[in-house]
A and B are shown apart, each in its own frame.
Chain A
Amino acid sequence: MTDLFVARDLCKRFGGLQALRNVDVVQRAGETLGMIGPNGSGKTSFVNAVTGELALDSGTIDFAGRDITGVRPHKVARAGLARTFQAVRIFARLSVRDNLQTAMLVLDDAANSLEAEERVELLHWLKLDHRLDAVAGSLTLFEQRRLELAMRLMMRPQLIMLDEPVGGLAPGEIRAMMQILNELKARCSIFVIEHTMRVIRELADRVVVLITGEKIADGPPVDILKDQRVIEQYLGTAHA
Chain B
Amino acid sequence: MRRYLRSAITPQLLLLLAAAIALAVVVSGNRFFAFVLGITMISILWAAGMNLLTGYTGLVSLAFAGIAGISAYGTVGLVMRCGWSFWLAMPVAVLGAAVVGVLLGLPSLRLKGFYFALSSLVIQTVLSLGFVYFIGLTNGDTGISQIPPPDIPLTGVSFHGIGFDLLLTFAAWLSLAATWAIAHSPFGRRLVAIREDEVLAEAIGIDVIRNKMLVFFVGSLYAGVGGALYATYVGFASPRSFDLLSSLSIWLMVAFGGRGTFMGPVVGALILAPVPFMLQQYDTLKDVIYGALIIAVIVLMPGGVYGTLLAYVRRLPSLKRYLSKQRGGVPNDGSVRRS
Q: Which residues of A are in contact with B by a Cβ distance under 8 Å?
A: 51, 53, 72-75, 77-78, 82-83, 85, 89-95, 98, 101-103, 105-106, 108-109, 133, 135, 151-152, 155
Contact status of A77 and B192, CB under 8 A, knowing A53-B199, A94-B330, A135-B331: no
Q: Which residues of B are in contact with A by a Cβ distance under 8 Å?
A: 186, 189-190, 192-193, 196-197, 199-208, 324, 327, 330-331, 335
Asked if B331 contacts A151 (CB within 8 A), the reply is no
User: For the complex, would chain B's binding face be called helix, strand, loop or mixed by DSSP majority?
Assistant: helix
A181 to B330, CA, bound (A): 32
Q: List 23 A-B contacts (CB under 8 A).
A: A53-B202, A73-B203, A74-B202, A77-B205, A85-B199, A85-B200, A90-B200, A91-B196, A93-B330, A93-B335, A94-B192, A95-B324, A98-B189, A102-B189, A102-B190, A102-B201, A102-B204, A103-B204, A105-B205, A106-B205, A108-B186, A135-B331, A155-B205
Asked if A105 contacts B189 (CB within 8 A), the reply is yes
> A residues within 8 A CB of B199?
53, 73, 85, 89
The residue from A82, A92, A133 contacting B324, defined by CB atoms under 8 A apart = A133
> A residues within 8 A CB of B327?
98
Asked if A82 contacts B203 (CB within 8 A), the reply is yes
A52 to B202, CA, bound (A): 10
Given A91-B197, A92-B196, A93-B331, 9 new contacts (CB under 8 A): A85-B200, A91-B193, A98-B192, A102-B206, A105-B205, A106-B204, A108-B186, A109-B186, A151-B204
Contact status of A91 and B200, CB under 8 A, knowing A102-B193, A105-B186: yes
A206 to B330, CA, bound (A): 43
> B residues within 8 A CB of A93?
196, 330-331, 335
Count chain A CB atoms within 10 A of each CB in B205, B206, B324 and give the residue with the most. B205
> A residues within 8 A CB of B206?
74, 102, 105-106
| Distance from A95 Cβ to chain B, minimum over Cβ atoms (Å) | 8
| Distance from A124 Cβ to chain B, minimum over Cβ atoms (Å) | 21
| Distance from B56 Cβ to chain A, minimum over Cβ atoms (Å) | 12
- Across the two chains, which residue of chain A brings its CB closest to B335? A93
| Distance from A150 Cβ to chain B, minimum over Cβ atoms (Å) | 11
A239 to B91, CA, bound (A): 65
> B residues within 8 A CB of A77?
202-205
Contact status of A73 and B200, CB under 8 A, knowing A93-B331, A105-B189, A108-B186: no
> B residues within 8 A CB of A82?
203-204
| Distance from A58 Cβ to chain B, minimum over Cβ atoms (Å) | 23
The residue from A89, A101, A108, A109 contacting B203, defined by CB atoms under 8 A apart = A89
> B residues within 8 A CB of A103?
204
Asked if B190 contacts A105 (CB within 8 A), the reply is yes
Asked if B202 contacts A72 (CB within 8 A), the reply is yes
> A residues within 8 A CB of B205?
74, 77-78, 105-106, 155
A77 to B207, CA, bound (A): 10
> B residues within 8 A CB of A135?
331
> A residues within 8 A CB of B203?
51, 73-74, 77, 82-83, 85, 89
Count chain B CB atoms within 10 A of each CB in A92, A102, A152 and give the residue with the most. A102
A108 to B200, CA, bound (A): 18
Closest 5 CB pairs of A and B: A106-B205, A73-B202, A77-B205, A91-B196, A89-B200
A135 to B324, CA, bound (A): 11
A78 to B331, CA, bound (A): 29
A152 to B205, CA, bound (A): 10
- Across the two chains, which residue of chain A brings its CB closest to B321? A133
> A residues within 8 A CB of B200?
85, 89-91
